Chain A
Amino acid sequence: MSQATAEDVSARQAASVIPAALRDAPTPAQLAWVSRRRAFMSVIGGLILWEIVGRYIVTNPILFSPLSKVLEIGWKMTLSGELARHFGVSALEFALGFLLSAVVGIALGFAMATSRRTQDILDPWVSFFYSSPLVALMPFFLLIFGVGLASKVAIVFVIAVFPILLNAFVGIRSADPHLLEVAKAFNCTRQQVFVKILLPAALPFVIVGLRLGIGRALTGVVVGELFASRAGVGYLITAAGQSFDTATVFLGVLIFSIMGVVLMEMLKWLENYLAPWRKNVTEMR
Protein backbone atom coordinates (compact mmCIF):
# COMPACT_ATOMS: atom_id res chain seq x y z
CA MET A 1 0.00 0.00 0.00
CA SER A 2 2.62 2.48 1.11
CA GLN A 3 4.83 1.28 -1.73
CA ALA A 4 2.10 2.02 -4.25
CA THR A 5 1.75 5.53 -2.88
CA ALA A 6 5.47 6.12 -3.12
CA GLU A 7 5.37 4.98 -6.73
CA ASP A 8 2.44 7.25 -7.37
CA VAL A 9 4.33 10.21 -6.08
CA SER A 10 7.45 9.55 -8.10
CA ALA A 11 5.38 8.88 -11.23
CA ARG A 12 3.59 12.15 -10.74
CA GLN A 13 6.82 14.01 -10.18
CA ALA A 14 8.32 12.43 -13.27
CA ALA A 15 5.45 13.63 -15.42
CA SER A 16 5.42 16.86 -13.38
CA VAL A 17 1.65 16.81 -13.28
CA ILE A 18 0.25 19.52 -11.06
CA PRO A 19 -2.58 18.28 -8.81
CA ALA A 20 -5.98 19.46 -10.00
CA ALA A 21 -6.82 21.42 -6.85
CA LEU A 22 -3.59 23.39 -7.13
CA ARG A 23 -3.92 23.92 -10.86
CA ASP A 24 -7.41 25.41 -10.58
CA ALA A 25 -6.66 27.65 -7.57
CA PRO A 26 -6.23 31.35 -8.44
CA THR A 27 -2.65 32.60 -8.31
CA PRO A 28 -1.71 35.44 -5.93
CA ALA A 29 -1.42 37.74 -8.95
CA GLN A 30 -4.94 36.86 -10.04
CA LEU A 31 -6.26 37.46 -6.52
CA ALA A 32 -4.55 40.85 -6.41
CA TRP A 33 -6.12 41.72 -9.74
CA VAL A 34 -9.57 40.76 -8.43
CA SER A 35 -9.05 42.99 -5.38
CA ARG A 36 -7.98 45.90 -7.50
CA ARG A 37 -10.96 45.49 -9.82
CA ARG A 38 -13.35 45.40 -6.88
CA ALA A 39 -11.82 48.56 -5.40
CA PHE A 40 -12.09 50.30 -8.75
CA MET A 41 -15.74 49.31 -9.17
CA SER A 42 -16.46 50.49 -5.63
CA VAL A 43 -15.01 53.94 -6.38
CA ILE A 44 -16.92 54.22 -9.66
CA GLY A 45 -20.11 53.15 -7.88
CA GLY A 46 -19.57 55.78 -5.19
CA LEU A 47 -19.04 58.52 -7.77
CA ILE A 48 -22.20 57.51 -9.64
CA LEU A 49 -24.14 57.49 -6.38
CA TRP A 50 -22.79 60.97 -5.62
CA GLU A 51 -24.03 62.20 -8.99
CA ILE A 52 -27.48 60.61 -8.60
CA VAL A 53 -28.01 61.95 -5.07
CA GLY A 54 -26.94 65.45 -6.10
CA ARG A 55 -29.04 65.51 -9.22
CA TYR A 56 -32.29 63.79 -8.18
CA ILE A 57 -32.49 63.39 -4.42
CA VAL A 58 -30.99 66.39 -2.62
CA THR A 59 -31.55 69.01 -5.25
CA ASN A 60 -31.09 72.05 -2.99
CA PRO A 61 -27.64 73.40 -4.13
CA ILE A 62 -26.89 74.71 -0.63
CA LEU A 63 -27.19 71.26 0.92
CA PHE A 64 -25.46 69.14 -1.70
CA SER A 65 -23.85 69.28 -5.09
CA PRO A 66 -23.53 66.60 -7.76
CA LEU A 67 -20.12 65.48 -8.98
CA SER A 68 -20.62 66.97 -12.43
CA LYS A 69 -21.21 70.42 -10.95
CA VAL A 70 -18.07 70.12 -8.79
CA LEU A 71 -15.99 69.06 -11.78
CA GLU A 72 -17.43 71.86 -13.89
CA ILE A 73 -16.39 74.48 -11.33
CA GLY A 74 -13.02 72.79 -11.01
CA TRP A 75 -12.52 72.97 -14.75
CA LYS A 76 -13.49 76.66 -14.91
CA MET A 77 -11.11 77.52 -12.07
CA THR A 78 -8.37 75.52 -13.75
CA LEU A 79 -8.79 77.49 -16.96
CA SER A 80 -8.77 80.81 -15.12
CA GLY A 81 -5.61 79.77 -13.25
CA GLU A 82 -7.35 80.35 -9.93
CA LEU A 83 -7.16 76.72 -8.87
CA ALA A 84 -3.44 76.48 -9.53
CA ARG A 85 -2.88 79.60 -7.40
CA HIS A 86 -4.84 78.24 -4.43
CA PHE A 87 -3.30 74.82 -4.79
CA GLY A 88 0.20 76.25 -5.01
CA VAL A 89 -0.24 78.21 -1.78
CA SER A 90 -1.57 75.19 0.12
CA ALA A 91 0.99 72.82 -1.33
CA LEU A 92 3.82 75.09 -0.24
CA GLU A 93 2.43 75.42 3.30
CA PHE A 94 2.02 71.67 3.45
CA ALA A 95 5.43 70.86 2.03
CA LEU A 96 7.35 73.22 4.32
CA GLY A 97 5.39 72.33 7.44
CA PHE A 98 5.45 68.60 6.82
CA LEU A 99 9.13 68.41 5.91
CA LEU A 100 10.02 70.43 8.99
CA SER A 101 7.94 68.14 11.20
CA ALA A 102 9.44 65.04 9.58
CA VAL A 103 13.03 66.20 10.10
CA VAL A 104 12.50 67.51 13.63
CA GLY A 105 10.19 64.66 14.64
CA ILE A 106 12.50 61.89 13.46
CA ALA A 107 15.60 63.60 14.89
CA LEU A 108 14.03 64.20 18.31
CA GLY A 109 12.43 60.75 18.37
CA PHE A 110 15.78 59.11 17.67
CA ALA A 111 17.55 61.34 20.18
CA MET A 112 15.02 60.45 22.88
CA ALA A 113 15.26 56.74 22.10
CA THR A 114 19.04 56.63 22.22
CA SER A 115 19.73 58.97 25.13
CA ARG A 116 18.23 58.39 28.53
CA ARG A 117 18.81 61.99 29.52
CA THR A 118 17.14 63.45 26.43
CA GLN A 119 14.20 61.17 27.04
CA ASP A 120 13.84 62.17 30.68
CA ILE A 121 13.90 65.85 29.77
CA LEU A 122 11.60 65.75 26.74
CA ASP A 123 9.15 63.07 27.81
CA PRO A 124 6.77 65.23 29.91
CA TRP A 125 6.56 67.83 27.15
CA VAL A 126 5.89 65.33 24.43
CA SER A 127 3.14 63.63 26.46
CA PHE A 128 1.61 67.01 27.24
CA PHE A 129 1.56 68.33 23.69
CA TYR A 130 0.70 65.03 22.05
CA SER A 131 -2.66 64.89 23.78
CA SER A 132 -3.54 68.58 23.68
CA PRO A 133 -5.68 70.12 20.88
CA LEU A 134 -2.88 72.02 19.17
CA VAL A 135 -5.12 73.52 16.47
CA ALA A 136 -6.20 75.97 19.18
CA LEU A 137 -2.75 77.54 18.92
CA MET A 138 -3.52 79.07 15.53
CA PRO A 139 -4.62 82.51 16.81
CA PHE A 140 -1.40 82.62 18.80
CA PHE A 141 0.70 81.81 15.73
CA LEU A 142 -1.08 84.57 13.84
CA LEU A 143 0.01 87.04 16.50
CA ILE A 144 3.59 85.82 16.46
CA PHE A 145 4.18 85.04 12.78
CA GLY A 146 1.57 87.24 11.10
CA VAL A 147 -0.98 86.26 8.49
CA GLY A 148 1.53 85.05 5.90
CA LEU A 149 3.15 81.70 5.17
CA ALA A 150 5.04 81.41 8.46
CA SER A 151 2.00 81.01 10.71
CA LYS A 152 0.60 78.29 8.45
CA VAL A 153 3.86 76.40 8.38
CA ALA A 154 3.98 76.68 12.16
CA ILE A 155 0.52 75.20 12.68
CA VAL A 156 1.17 72.39 10.19
CA PHE A 157 4.43 71.67 11.98
CA VAL A 158 3.08 71.46 15.53
CA ILE A 159 0.12 69.34 14.48
CA ALA A 160 2.18 66.87 12.47
CA VAL A 161 5.37 66.60 14.50
CA PHE A 162 4.22 64.59 17.52
CA PRO A 163 2.97 61.39 15.87
CA ILE A 164 6.15 61.38 13.78
CA LEU A 165 8.33 61.88 16.84
CA LEU A 166 6.58 59.22 18.90
CA ASN A 167 6.70 56.62 16.17
CA ALA A 168 10.39 57.27 15.51
CA PHE A 169 10.99 56.85 19.23
CA VAL A 170 9.01 53.62 19.49
CA GLY A 171 10.68 52.31 16.33
CA ILE A 172 14.17 52.57 17.79
CA ARG A 173 13.01 51.12 21.10
CA SER A 174 11.35 48.18 19.39
CA ALA A 175 14.64 46.94 17.95
CA ASP A 176 15.03 43.27 18.88
CA PRO A 177 17.45 42.92 21.84
CA HIS A 178 18.69 39.68 20.25
CA LEU A 179 19.89 41.62 17.24
CA LEU A 180 21.60 44.15 19.50
CA GLU A 181 23.40 41.23 21.09
CA VAL A 182 24.51 40.10 17.64
CA ALA A 183 25.90 43.58 17.03
CA LYS A 184 27.76 43.37 20.31
CA ALA A 185 29.16 39.94 19.55
CA PHE A 186 30.54 41.27 16.27
CA ASN A 187 32.07 44.28 18.01
CA CYS A 188 29.98 46.96 16.31
CA THR A 189 30.71 50.57 17.20
CA ARG A 190 27.86 52.72 18.49
CA GLN A 191 27.51 54.27 15.08
CA GLN A 192 27.40 50.86 13.39
CA VAL A 193 24.74 49.68 15.82
CA PHE A 194 22.67 52.72 14.92
CA VAL A 195 23.07 52.44 11.17
CA LYS A 196 22.97 48.67 10.78
CA ILE A 197 20.47 47.65 13.48
CA LEU A 198 18.45 50.49 14.99
CA LEU A 199 17.73 52.42 11.82
CA PRO A 200 16.36 49.53 9.73
CA ALA A 201 14.42 48.26 12.76
CA ALA A 202 12.81 51.69 13.19
CA LEU A 203 12.03 52.21 9.52
CA PRO A 204 8.53 50.65 9.41
CA PHE A 205 7.54 52.68 12.47
CA VAL A 206 8.92 55.86 10.95
CA ILE A 207 6.79 55.23 7.88
CA VAL A 208 3.70 54.81 10.04
CA GLY A 209 4.55 58.09 11.78
CA LEU A 210 4.91 59.85 8.46
CA ARG A 211 1.58 58.44 7.31
CA LEU A 212 -0.17 59.83 10.39
CA GLY A 213 1.80 63.05 9.94
CA ILE A 214 0.52 63.52 6.39
CA GLY A 215 -3.10 63.32 7.52
CA ARG A 216 -2.46 65.72 10.35
CA ALA A 217 -0.48 68.14 8.20
CA LEU A 218 -3.34 68.38 5.71
CA THR A 219 -5.68 69.19 8.60
CA GLY A 220 -3.14 71.79 9.67
CA VAL A 221 -3.29 73.45 6.24
CA VAL A 222 -7.09 73.70 6.41
CA VAL A 223 -7.02 75.07 9.96
CA GLY A 224 -4.26 77.52 9.09
CA GLU A 225 -6.22 78.91 6.18
CA LEU A 226 -9.41 79.09 8.18
CA PHE A 227 -8.05 82.21 9.89
CA ALA A 228 -7.06 85.44 8.19
CA SER A 229 -5.82 84.25 4.83
CA ARG A 230 -6.34 85.28 1.25
CA ALA A 231 -5.44 82.18 -0.72
CA GLY A 232 -5.14 78.43 -0.51
CA VAL A 233 -7.52 75.51 -0.92
CA GLY A 234 -8.52 75.82 2.74
CA TYR A 235 -9.28 79.48 2.20
CA LEU A 236 -11.30 78.49 -0.88
CA ILE A 237 -13.39 76.14 1.25
CA THR A 238 -13.91 78.67 4.02
CA ALA A 239 -14.86 81.48 1.63
CA ALA A 240 -17.20 79.23 -0.37
CA GLY A 241 -18.86 78.00 2.80
CA GLN A 242 -19.56 81.55 3.90
CA SER A 243 -21.30 82.28 0.59
CA PHE A 244 -23.23 78.97 0.63
CA ASP A 245 -21.34 77.72 -2.44
CA THR A 246 -21.46 74.03 -1.60
CA ALA A 247 -20.05 72.88 -4.94
CA THR A 248 -16.82 74.80 -4.35
CA VAL A 249 -16.63 73.49 -0.79
CA PHE A 250 -16.83 69.95 -2.20
CA LEU A 251 -14.19 70.80 -4.76
CA GLY A 252 -11.80 71.94 -2.03
CA VAL A 253 -12.39 68.86 0.08
CA LEU A 254 -11.94 66.64 -2.98
CA ILE A 255 -8.59 68.28 -3.71
CA PHE A 256 -7.36 67.67 -0.17
CA SER A 257 -8.56 64.06 -0.29
CA ILE A 258 -6.79 63.41 -3.58
CA MET A 259 -3.65 65.03 -2.17
CA GLY A 260 -3.87 62.71 0.81
CA VAL A 261 -4.33 59.59 -1.32
CA VAL A 262 -1.48 60.51 -3.66
CA LEU A 263 0.88 61.21 -0.74
CA MET A 264 -0.02 57.91 0.92
CA GLU A 265 0.71 56.06 -2.30
CA MET A 266 4.06 57.82 -2.58
CA LEU A 267 4.85 56.77 0.96
CA LYS A 268 3.93 53.17 0.19
CA TRP A 269 6.25 53.28 -2.77
CA LEU A 270 8.99 54.74 -0.59
CA GLU A 271 8.53 51.95 1.95
CA ASN A 272 8.75 49.25 -0.70
CA TYR A 273 11.89 50.90 -1.99
CA LEU A 274 13.56 51.34 1.41
CA ALA A 275 12.31 48.14 3.03
CA PRO A 276 12.15 45.44 0.34
CA TRP A 277 12.42 42.69 2.96
CA ARG A 278 8.96 43.62 4.27
CA LYS A 279 7.42 43.50 0.83
CA ASN A 280 8.83 40.02 0.60
CA VAL A 281 7.17 39.01 3.81
CA THR A 282 3.73 40.08 2.69
CA GLU A 283 4.15 38.43 -0.68
CA MET A 284 5.04 35.18 1.00
CA ARG A 285 1.72 34.94 2.81
Chain B
Amino acid sequence: MVAKLQVQNLSKYFLTRDGEPRKVLDKISLDIEENEFVCIVGASGCGKTTFIRSIGGLIPAEEGDVRIDGKRVEGPGGDRGFVFQHDSLLPWRTVLDNVIFGLEVRGMRPSQSHPLGMSLLKLVGLSSFENHYPSELSGGMRQRVNLARALAIDPDVLLMDEPFAALDAQTREIMQRELLKIWAEKRKTVLFITHQIDEAVYLADRVLVFSSRPGRVAADIRIPFARPRELSLKRTPEFLKIVDDIWSLIEQEVVASMAA
Protein backbone atom coordinates (compact mmCIF):
# COMPACT_ATOMS: atom_id res chain seq x y z
CA MET B 1 0.00 0.00 0.00
CA VAL B 2 1.38 3.42 -0.90
CA ALA B 3 1.55 6.23 1.64
CA LYS B 4 -0.99 9.04 1.46
CA LEU B 5 1.61 11.70 0.80
CA GLN B 6 4.93 10.78 -0.75
CA VAL B 7 7.78 13.18 -1.27
CA GLN B 8 10.68 11.87 -3.33
CA ASN B 9 14.03 13.59 -3.70
CA LEU B 10 12.49 17.02 -3.64
CA SER B 11 14.99 19.80 -4.29
CA LYS B 12 14.26 23.47 -4.63
CA TYR B 13 16.50 26.31 -5.76
CA PHE B 14 16.07 30.04 -5.63
CA LEU B 15 18.03 32.48 -7.72
CA THR B 16 20.11 34.91 -5.69
CA ARG B 17 20.22 38.52 -6.75
CA ASP B 18 23.28 37.86 -8.91
CA GLY B 19 21.36 35.13 -10.71
CA GLU B 20 23.20 32.30 -8.96
CA PRO B 21 21.06 29.30 -8.03
CA ARG B 22 20.94 28.62 -4.29
CA LYS B 23 19.74 25.29 -3.00
CA VAL B 24 17.07 25.73 -0.32
CA LEU B 25 15.74 22.17 -0.13
CA ASP B 26 18.08 19.26 -0.69
CA LYS B 27 16.66 15.93 -1.86
CA ILE B 28 13.92 15.63 0.71
CA SER B 29 12.13 12.29 0.84
CA LEU B 30 9.39 11.30 3.21
CA ASP B 31 6.19 9.32 3.42
CA ILE B 32 3.16 10.33 5.41
CA GLU B 33 0.46 7.77 6.10
CA GLU B 34 -3.24 8.42 5.88
CA ASN B 35 -4.60 10.31 8.92
CA GLU B 36 -1.14 10.82 10.27
CA PHE B 37 -0.29 14.09 12.00
CA VAL B 38 3.24 15.12 11.11
CA CYS B 39 4.99 18.21 12.39
CA ILE B 40 8.08 19.82 10.93
CA VAL B 41 10.33 21.89 13.16
CA GLY B 42 13.50 23.70 12.25
CA ALA B 43 15.31 26.96 12.63
CA SER B 44 13.91 30.02 10.95
CA GLY B 45 14.93 30.25 7.30
CA CYS B 46 15.69 26.55 6.92
CA GLY B 47 13.10 26.13 4.17
CA LYS B 48 9.95 24.97 6.01
CA THR B 49 7.65 27.37 4.21
CA THR B 50 9.31 26.63 0.89
CA PHE B 51 8.77 22.93 1.49
CA ILE B 52 5.08 23.17 2.33
CA ARG B 53 4.47 25.58 -0.56
CA SER B 54 6.04 23.04 -2.92
CA ILE B 55 3.74 20.36 -1.57
CA GLY B 56 0.79 22.68 -1.92
CA GLY B 57 1.78 23.26 -5.54
CA LEU B 58 2.16 26.99 -5.00
CA ILE B 59 5.73 26.93 -6.27
CA PRO B 60 7.35 24.40 -8.58
CA ALA B 61 10.22 22.28 -7.34
CA GLU B 62 13.11 21.80 -9.76
CA GLU B 63 13.81 18.20 -8.85
CA GLY B 64 11.88 15.31 -7.40
CA ASP B 65 8.16 14.94 -7.02
CA VAL B 66 5.22 14.98 -4.66
CA ARG B 67 2.54 12.31 -4.86
CA ILE B 68 -0.81 12.01 -3.21
CA ASP B 69 -2.30 8.52 -3.30
CA GLY B 70 0.49 7.73 -5.72
CA LYS B 71 -0.57 10.44 -8.13
CA ARG B 72 1.92 13.16 -8.99
CA VAL B 73 0.74 16.67 -8.14
CA GLU B 74 1.20 19.50 -10.62
CA GLY B 75 0.06 22.70 -8.97
CA PRO B 76 -2.62 23.39 -6.38
CA GLY B 77 -5.58 21.07 -6.03
CA GLY B 78 -8.63 20.36 -3.95
CA ASP B 79 -6.96 17.34 -2.33
CA ARG B 80 -4.84 19.74 -0.26
CA GLY B 81 -6.15 22.48 2.02
CA PHE B 82 -3.81 25.28 3.02
CA VAL B 83 -3.81 27.13 6.34
CA PHE B 84 -1.42 30.02 6.05
CA GLN B 85 0.96 31.47 8.57
CA HIS B 86 0.01 35.07 7.91
CA ASP B 87 -3.37 36.57 8.32
CA SER B 88 -4.81 35.57 4.99
CA LEU B 89 -8.54 36.17 5.29
CA LEU B 90 -10.09 38.40 2.68
CA PRO B 91 -10.88 41.62 4.58
CA TRP B 92 -13.86 42.44 2.35
CA ARG B 93 -15.62 39.18 3.06
CA THR B 94 -17.60 38.28 6.13
CA VAL B 95 -16.51 35.29 8.17
CA LEU B 96 -18.99 33.00 6.44
CA ASP B 97 -18.04 34.23 2.97
CA ASN B 98 -14.40 33.63 3.82
CA VAL B 99 -15.13 30.07 4.90
CA ILE B 100 -16.99 29.23 1.70
CA PHE B 101 -14.41 30.92 -0.55
CA GLY B 102 -13.03 27.66 -1.91
CA LEU B 103 -16.54 26.29 -2.54
CA GLU B 104 -17.60 29.46 -4.33
CA VAL B 105 -14.50 29.29 -6.53
CA ARG B 106 -15.59 25.80 -7.56
CA GLY B 107 -19.01 27.13 -8.48
CA MET B 108 -21.06 25.81 -5.57
CA ARG B 109 -24.25 27.76 -5.01
CA PRO B 110 -24.76 29.68 -1.73
CA SER B 111 -27.82 27.57 -0.93
CA GLN B 112 -25.47 24.61 -0.67
CA SER B 113 -22.30 26.24 0.60
CA HIS B 114 -23.84 28.34 3.38
CA PRO B 115 -25.12 25.43 5.48
CA LEU B 116 -21.76 23.74 5.02
CA GLY B 117 -19.95 26.89 6.08
CA MET B 118 -22.18 27.29 9.12
CA SER B 119 -21.50 23.75 10.28
CA LEU B 120 -17.76 24.36 9.95
CA LEU B 121 -18.06 27.59 11.92
CA LYS B 122 -19.76 25.58 14.61
CA LEU B 123 -16.93 23.06 14.49
CA VAL B 124 -14.31 25.77 15.09
CA GLY B 125 -16.42 27.43 17.77
CA LEU B 126 -17.48 30.58 15.90
CA SER B 127 -21.17 29.89 15.49
CA SER B 128 -22.55 33.39 15.92
CA PHE B 129 -19.82 35.24 14.05
CA GLU B 130 -20.78 34.51 10.45
CA ASN B 131 -21.61 38.12 9.63
CA HIS B 132 -18.53 39.68 11.20
CA TYR B 133 -15.66 41.01 9.14
CA PRO B 134 -12.13 39.71 9.86
CA SER B 135 -11.13 43.12 11.23
CA GLU B 136 -13.63 42.59 14.03
CA LEU B 137 -12.06 39.31 15.17
CA SER B 138 -9.13 38.51 17.44
CA GLY B 139 -6.07 36.74 16.06
CA GLY B 140 -7.17 33.39 17.44
CA MET B 141 -10.62 33.71 15.93
CA ARG B 142 -9.14 34.62 12.56
CA GLN B 143 -7.03 31.50 12.53
CA ARG B 144 -10.13 29.45 13.35
CA VAL B 145 -11.78 30.93 10.26
CA ASN B 146 -8.61 30.19 8.31
CA LEU B 147 -8.84 26.56 9.40
CA ALA B 148 -12.54 26.34 8.60
CA ARG B 149 -11.86 27.73 5.13
CA ALA B 150 -9.26 25.04 4.49
CA LEU B 151 -11.58 22.31 5.80
CA ALA B 152 -14.50 23.54 3.69
CA ILE B 153 -13.17 22.03 0.48
CA ASP B 154 -12.86 18.73 2.37
CA PRO B 155 -9.21 18.07 1.44
CA ASP B 156 -7.43 14.78 2.14
CA VAL B 157 -4.33 16.56 3.33
CA LEU B 158 -4.18 19.67 5.51
CA LEU B 159 -1.09 21.80 5.05
CA MET B 160 -0.54 24.19 7.94
CA ASP B 161 2.33 26.68 7.96
CA GLU B 162 2.90 28.01 11.48
CA PRO B 163 -0.79 28.82 11.84
CA PHE B 164 -0.52 29.72 15.53
CA ALA B 165 2.79 31.58 15.42
CA ALA B 166 1.23 35.02 15.81
CA LEU B 167 -1.00 34.09 18.76
CA ASP B 168 -0.31 34.71 22.42
CA ALA B 169 0.72 31.73 24.55
CA GLN B 170 -2.68 30.96 26.11
CA THR B 171 -4.62 31.29 22.87
CA ARG B 172 -2.08 29.10 21.15
CA GLU B 173 -2.49 26.31 23.69
CA ILE B 174 -6.25 26.43 23.37
CA MET B 175 -5.98 26.35 19.59
CA GLN B 176 -3.67 23.35 19.75
CA ARG B 177 -6.19 21.43 21.81
CA GLU B 178 -9.02 22.48 19.52
CA LEU B 179 -7.07 21.44 16.46
CA LEU B 180 -6.53 17.95 17.88
CA LYS B 181 -10.23 17.71 18.65
CA ILE B 182 -11.17 18.72 15.12
CA TRP B 183 -8.56 16.41 13.65
CA ALA B 184 -9.96 13.51 15.69
CA GLU B 185 -13.40 14.28 14.31
CA LYS B 186 -12.47 14.92 10.67
CA ARG B 187 -9.60 12.44 10.30
CA LYS B 188 -7.25 14.25 7.95
CA THR B 189 -3.65 13.74 7.03
CA VAL B 190 -1.90 16.79 8.48
CA LEU B 191 1.43 18.36 7.71
CA PHE B 192 1.99 21.06 10.31
CA ILE B 193 4.93 23.41 10.42
CA THR B 194 6.03 25.17 13.56
CA HIS B 195 9.16 26.48 15.16
CA GLN B 196 7.77 25.73 18.61
CA ILE B 197 9.05 22.35 19.62
CA ASP B 198 6.53 21.75 22.40
CA GLU B 199 3.73 22.51 19.96
CA ALA B 200 5.11 19.92 17.56
CA VAL B 201 5.51 17.25 20.23
CA TYR B 202 2.06 17.88 21.65
CA LEU B 203 0.32 17.66 18.28
CA ALA B 204 2.23 15.15 16.24
CA ASP B 205 2.48 11.43 15.65
CA ARG B 206 5.86 12.18 14.12
CA VAL B 207 8.14 15.17 14.34
CA LEU B 208 10.56 15.85 11.51
CA VAL B 209 13.54 18.05 12.29
CA PHE B 210 14.81 20.10 9.38
CA SER B 211 18.43 21.10 9.08
CA SER B 212 19.44 24.45 7.67
CA ARG B 213 21.03 25.58 4.44
CA PRO B 214 19.99 23.59 2.56
CA GLY B 215 16.90 22.14 4.20
CA ARG B 216 17.11 18.42 4.82
CA VAL B 217 15.33 15.98 7.12
CA ALA B 218 17.82 15.64 9.96
CA ALA B 219 15.67 13.48 12.21
CA ASP B 220 12.34 11.68 12.19
CA ILE B 221 11.01 11.19 15.71
CA ARG B 222 7.98 9.13 16.64
CA ILE B 223 5.92 10.63 19.48
CA PRO B 224 4.57 7.81 21.66
CA PHE B 225 1.86 9.58 23.69
CA ALA B 226 -1.64 8.15 23.58
CA ARG B 227 -4.58 10.16 22.34
CA PRO B 228 -6.63 12.05 23.19
CA ARG B 229 -3.96 14.25 24.72
CA GLU B 230 -4.62 16.73 27.47
CA LEU B 231 -2.73 20.01 27.65
CA SER B 232 -1.37 18.83 31.00
CA LEU B 233 0.72 16.33 29.04
CA LYS B 234 3.06 19.22 28.31
CA ARG B 235 4.06 19.37 31.97
CA THR B 236 5.06 15.70 32.26
CA PRO B 237 8.76 14.70 32.43
CA GLU B 238 8.39 12.31 29.46
CA PHE B 239 7.13 15.15 27.32
CA LEU B 240 9.81 17.57 28.45
CA LYS B 241 12.47 14.97 27.77
CA ILE B 242 11.44 14.63 24.13
CA VAL B 243 11.26 18.41 23.74
CA ASP B 244 14.74 18.66 25.21
CA ASP B 245 16.16 16.02 22.86
CA ILE B 246 14.76 17.80 19.83
CA TRP B 247 16.11 21.07 21.15
CA SER B 248 19.65 19.77 21.27
CA LEU B 249 19.23 18.24 17.81
CA ILE B 250 18.26 21.59 16.33
CA GLU B 251 21.00 23.32 18.22
CA GLN B 252 23.57 20.94 16.77
CA GLU B 253 22.16 21.53 13.32
CA VAL B 254 22.32 25.28 13.64
CA VAL B 255 25.84 25.23 15.04
CA ALA B 256 26.95 22.85 12.29
CA SER B 257 25.41 24.98 9.54
CA MET B 258 26.97 28.11 10.98
CA ALA B 259 30.38 26.45 11.05
CA ALA B 260 29.99 25.31 7.44
Q: Which residues of A contact B (CB under 8 A)?
A: 178-179, 181-182, 184-188, 192, 196-197, 200-201, 203, 275-277, 280-281, 284
Contacts and interface: CB of A to CB of B under 8 A. Distances in A.
A185 B76 contact: yes
Contacts of A276: 133
Nearest to A185: B82
Interface string B214-239: 00000000000000000000000000
A162 B105 CA distance: 34
- Interface residues of A: mostly helix, strand, loop or mixed? helix
Interface of B: 56, 58, 75-78, 82, 84, 86-88, 90-93, 101-102, 105-106, 133, 135-136, 153
Contact of A184 (B76, B86, B87): B76
A277 B88 contact: no
Contacts of B88: 178-179, 181-182
Contacts of A196: 90, 101, 105
A185 B90 CA distance: 14
Given A186-B102, A275-B92, A178 B153 contact: no
B177 to A, nearest CB: 24
A138 to B, nearest CB: 41
Contact of B84 (A178, A188, A203): A178
Specify which of A185, A200, A201, A276 lies most central, judged by the most chain B CB atoms within 10 Å of its CB: A185
A193 to B, nearest CB: 10
B164 to A, nearest CB: 17
A280 B90 contact: no
Contacts of B135: 277, 280-281, 284
Given A178-B84, A280-B135, A188 B90 contact: no
B116 to A, nearest CB: 15
Specify which of A187, A196, A200, A203 lies most central, judged by the most chain B CB atoms within 10 Å of its CB: A187
A186 B90 contact: no
Specify which of A186, A196, A203 lies most central, judged by the most chain B CB atoms within 10 Å of its CB: A186
A185 B56 contact: yes
B133 A277 contact: yes
A181 to B, nearest CB: 6
A200 B76 contact: no
Contacts of B106: 187
Contacts of B102: 186
Given A179-B88, A181-B58, A186 B101 contact: yes
Contacts of A186: 76, 101-102, 105, 153
A275 B92 CA distance: 7
A281 B135 CA distance: 6
Given A184-B76, A196-B90, A280 B136 contact: yes
A182 B86 CA distance: 11
Nearest to A200: B92
Which 3 A-B pairs give the minimum distances between C-beta atoms? A200-B92, A185-B82, A186-B102
A203 B91 CA distance: 12
A178 B86 contact: yes
B84 A280 contact: no
A179 B56 CA distance: 15
A184 B105 CA distance: 11
A166 B25 CA distance: 41
Contacts of A185: 56, 58, 76, 82, 84
Contacts of A281: 133, 135
Contact of A187 (B77, B90, B136): B77
A186 B105 CA distance: 7
A187 B133 contact: no
7 contacts: A178-B88, A182-B84, A186-B102, A187-B106, A276-B133, A280-B135, A281-B133
Nearest to A199: B92
A179 B90 contact: yes
B95 to A, nearest CB: 11
A187 B58 CA distance: 10
B142 to A, nearest CB: 13
A275 B84 CA distance: 25
